Structure formats: structure tokens, C-alpha cells
Amino acid sequence: MALIDSDKPIIPLSSVAQMLSAKLRTLRMYEEKGLLPVHEHGKKLYSINDLRLIAFVHYLVSFKKVNANGVRFVLELLNEHLDGEQKEALLTSVEELIEKVSPKEIDSEFEDF
């Protein structure tokens, strides 16, 4: 038995914002546009694996300037055309890119999004 269940939604959006050094309003905007994972229980809690995906969405929007429709398309490709191993490899490589980006380079507040 693993000590941590990476798929259990236990992290509130405010904590996700702190972990990503993002504004809560920005993440709520992603949520309103349907870019964040949705869980069946209805509560807006996120898992560790969700956090990785949210970081990816935030990277696409903030650093790569991808709009909501583009993010939806990328997420669709990620979910429908990559198996678990390929998805993991992609998210890991994106995490490495994110680590190289300084916080000053990512502007987490977008008016035109």
C-alpha cells in the first residue's frame, strides 16, 4: 500500500494557487473555462496528479500564451491519444521546462484570456 494516493482529491484550489505561485483568480478563470479536472464528488478539490495537470495548463496559458480553445485541444490530445506512460513522460518533461522558467517570466494574470 502506498503512503500517498496521488489520485485522491484533497487539495483546495487556494493551496494549488500557492503551490504554483499563481493568483487564485487566474485558476478560478481556468476552472470557469473548463480547463481544470472535474471530480464526481462535486467538491472543488484536486489530487497531486491534478496539480501536475493544472501546472501544465498554467504553463501553456502563462508562458506559451495558448488560449482556452488551444488548451482544450492540447488536453484532448493528451487524454485521448496518449497512453499512461506517454502522458507521464510528457508531463515530466513539461515539469522540467517549468522548473527552468523563472517566476518573473510567467505573468499569472491575463486580461485577454
Grid cell at residue 92: 515530466
How much is the pLDDT for 90? Answer: 87
How far apart, in whole angstroms, are the C-alpha atoms of residue 26 and residue 32?
10
pLDDT above 80 (res 13): yes
| CA proximity to 26, closest of 80, 64, 68 | 68
What pTM did the predictor assign? 0.80
How much is the pLDDT for 96? Answer: 87
Class of domain 11-104: mainly alpha
User: Over the stretch 48-96, which tens digit does the pLDDT of each residue have?
Assistant: 989 999 999 999 998 889 999 999 999 999 889 988 899 889 888 888 8
How much is the pLDDT for 76? Answer: 92
Instruction: Kindly report the length of the chain.
Output: 113
- Would you place residue 113 in the very low, low, confident or very high pLDDT band (cuts 50, 70, 90)? very low
**What are the residue ranges spanned by the domains of the chain?**
11-104
How much is the pLDDT for 105? Answer: 56
